[in-house]
Amino acid sequence: MDWILLGIPVGVILLYFGSDWLVKGGKGMALRLGIAPFVIGLTILAFGSSAPEAITSIVSTSNPGIIIGNVIGSNIANIGLAIGLAAIVAPMAAKYSSMKLELAVMMITTLALTVLAFIGYAGFWVGIAFVASLLVFIAVVYRLKKDDKEGQEAYSSEVDEDEPPRGYPVLLFFVVAGLVLLYFGARFFVDGAVELASMLGMSDLLIGLIVVAVGTSLPEICISLIAARRGENDMAVANIVGSNIFNILFVLGIGASLVTVPIVDSVLYFHMPVMIALSLLMIASVRFKSGISRPVGALMIGIYVAYVAIMIAMPSLTL
């Protein structure tokens, strides 16, 4: 076996701990500033857990097919696996009234990606527009929810009573160290994934949709499972909604600003419909059922398993 393939498991480990440290440091700073947990889930946790995808885009400029595959595959895995598995662990309650704007933005960005699929590529100015749109979104969310009194009580409830609160220098160390681990984790992981693709004769898009997508979605999966087990349902759902928004506007935005990202026909006719269907299923469940039940979670997992099985059975869908 080529030693470079070890980059896949080593990369996954570094991505996991890198995102964990980044989230821990960023969340600690946000909580100290009195920002509401929902906003933390939507921004800090979403950015931290999407950081592996972002770093992967930066280091994948020589294989741009991996970038679009990573974005779409991660968004599908976020709902099909992360939300699905979390709902199986514990049915998730979520207030539609508290996340209407965010769910709407998630669908708008998904539809924007569909338009790009019709065009066939994402270029420099699209990337700049996406990143700028993300900054506007964050500013709007913060302005609307910064005065939520829930945030003032969050820090004391999140910190272990037997452990002294971490100071800003320690939290800053977690952020910086997390970013370093994420960078090297992404480098190792992408190099291993590209080598695997060449050995198996698989396309960059397929590697991005499955191997890279699941690997970089591990933070979202872990965060959602932990949040569901702790009963932090709003934070778990907000993390996925925020991550999907970040993946399109930031991950694809950064990638497209560095290199023209081609979007093949199969993305429009097969992968985007799956992504849209899972997004609508999650929104409908939150809107009409006030959460994600175990049966809905099982349906999400079933859709994801069928999606992967079809790709493996019909490789032409990933060319």
DSSP the chain: --GGGGHHHHHHHHHHHHHHHHHHHHHHHHHHTT--HHHIIIIIIHHHHHHHHHHHHHTTTTSHHHHHHHHHHHHHHIIIIIIHHHHHHS-EE--GGGSHHHHHHHHHHHHHHHHHHHHTEE-HHHHHHHHHHHHHHHHHHHHHHTT-THHHHHHHHHS-TTSPPPPHHHHHHHHHHHHHHHHHHHHHHHHHHHHHHHHHT--HHHHIIIIIHHHHTHHHHHHHHHHHHHT-HHHHHHHHHHHHHHIIIIIIHHHHHHS-EE--HHIIIIIHHHHHHHHHHHHHHHHHHSEE-HHHHHHHHHHHHHHHHHHHH-GGGG-
Q: What is the pLDDT of residue 20?
A: 73
pLDDT of 178 reads 79
- Quick one: pLDDT at residue 156? 46
> How high is the pLDDT of residue 127?
93
How high is the mean pLDDT in each 10-residue block of the chain (319 residues)?
73 78 72 64 65 73 81 89 86 79 92 92 93 89 67 47 62 80 76 76 74 72 69 69 88 90 89 94 90 91 91 77
Its domain, for residue 263, covers 3-318
Q: What is the pLDDT of residue 104?
A: 93
Q: Is 313 exposed, middle or buried (0-12, 13-18, 19+ CB in 10 A)?
A: exposed
Q: State the pLDDT at residue 205.
A: 73
pLDDT value of position 159: 46
The reported pTM is: 0.78
What are the tens digits of pLDDT across the range 9-54? Answer: 888 788 778 777 776 776 677 667 666 656 665 666 666 666 777 7
Residue-wise pLDDT for 266-282, tens only, equals 888 999 999 999 999 99
Domain of residue 112, CATH code:
1.20.1420.30
Number of domain units in the chain: 1
The pLDDT value recorded for residue 151 is 47
